[in-house]
Amino acid sequence: MMLPILLLLLPVLSPALAWIPVEDWESGNVTASVGDSGQCVCHVYVPDTTFPADRVQHMQQVSKDLILEVEIQMDKMVSYEGKLEIYLKELTELTVRVAMLQSSGDNYIKLDFELLRIELREFDALVSQLRDSLNSSSPLFDSLYTEIHNMTLIVNQLETYDKTNLNVIRFEFAKLQKKLEECQKEQDSFKPDIGNCNHTGIMSLSKPMVVQVNAHLNGGYQYGGWGKDSKPVRGYESMYFYGAYSTPHVYDFYLYSDYEKLILRSNFKHHHLPNGWEGTGNNYIVHGNTIYYQHNTPFGMTKLNLTSSKYDSRVIPAASQRFSYRYADNQNLDFAADENGLWVMYASEESMGKIVLAKLDEKSFGIADEWNTGAYKELAGNAFMACGVMYATRSVDLNTEEIFYAFDTKTREEKQLNIRFQKFQEKYTNLDYNPTEQKLYMYNNGYYVSYNVKFNRE
């Protein structure tokens, strides 16, 4: 530390020597002599009254203060350098975020833009603080200011685009809401008049209401059926049934207490058909807390009481195993229920493959009456009953089915119809009308599907 002090003293001492009057130099204040080695040695005597000792002390203090200040400023520079590195890294990340906004602004909301704007203001304040602290300007600061300004403009512009997109979304939402209202009006137009058959027949079906894939969560279970009891006993009005298989065979049924339990696949009972009581085909129904299905051996009708688990069977001598609906094999006996009771449809050799409609006596489990229709079973996709009228369906294309035939058991009159409706998928194995809701239940290639039925009451 002596060297800086001596260096600082030189400019002080030199002027002090210059202030000594010339006469003092000549009056003995300066002496000369010859040294031991023959060199010339000059001796200068400066009077105490002329030496600025107080200034030397002051300069020493100033020197200490300057050294301390330099150390403080160096610490500040190190601190600012660290902060600058951190904020430059954050500024780089912010640049990336703005670039992402530019490429996919639709995925951001107003809050994202506001946060970006706040961060940009913080960066602007930081740059100003650094410049003021260093009391200088440089191309680096100018570049930072320019970058922050440009990013602010981009964010403002992107927010404008976002507001535009938001308006588009609002417009699309309004259109969707309008469609939903129209759909609701359509559903209201299908408001059922339960039990009333004072009409001239089916006018139309609603759009398909696809619930979900089957309870096995397996698209391979394309054979089966689902629905509700068409004459529920007290306490089971909300019960649903379901059964599905990978082949056209029937070996178990699942019961669900209500619609929510059906969706959650939480059954309260599982009926596994014992050996000798297995079924075939998929045109079974639940009526009066009893399942009616087609038996294998011997070929005939079977019913299972869901309360007592008691089985019973009957054979229809004329029914043939040679005729089935076009979408699946072994659909020989098709059970149905409507406002007038319980039915079964089949084809015989005598009818040459045309559907024979039979009214069942629920107590005796026998046939009460029969009608021959003009609908070929193998050309039909399925058939069902509603208010004593048999309706047969057929395929129009992959996504469209139509009710093409009707047979009225009261008048024995048959009609050609053209009532088209949408299918969720091409093939279905179960289609049944439920009079307690005036709905059609369809098992469509592994999915639960239903339709509201609208009758012509004019």
Query: What are 273-291's pLDDT values in tens digits?
Result: 999 999 998 899 999 999 9
Helix (H) or strand (E) holding 64: helix 53-103
pLDDT of residue 415: 96
Phi, psi of 310 (to 5 degrees): -95, 140
With b meaning 16 or more CB within 10 Å and e meaning fewer, what string describes 353-385? ebbbbbbbebeebebeeebebebbbeebbbbbb
Reduced to 3 states (helix: H, G, I; strand: E, B; else coil), residue 37 is coil
pLDDT of residue 62: 64
Distance CA 89, CA 95 (A): 10
Distance CA 21, CA 47 (A): 11
Give the bridge partners for 395, in sequence order. Answer: 401
pLDDT of residue 118: 73
pLDDT of residue 40: 74
Distances (CA, A) of 389 to 124, 386, 405, 433: 81, 5, 10, 11
pLDDT of residue 292: 97
Residue type, 338: D
The ranges of the chain with pLDDT < 50 are 1-20, 22-27, 105, 107
Give the bridge partners for 319, in sequence order. Answer: 348
pLDDT of residue 258: 94
Q: CATH for 202-455, among 3.30.499, 2.115.10, 2.30.29, 3.30.530?
A: 2.115.10
Q: Where are the domains of the chain?
A: 1-51, 54-189, 202-455
Distance CA 192, CA 187 (A): 10
pTM over 0.85: no
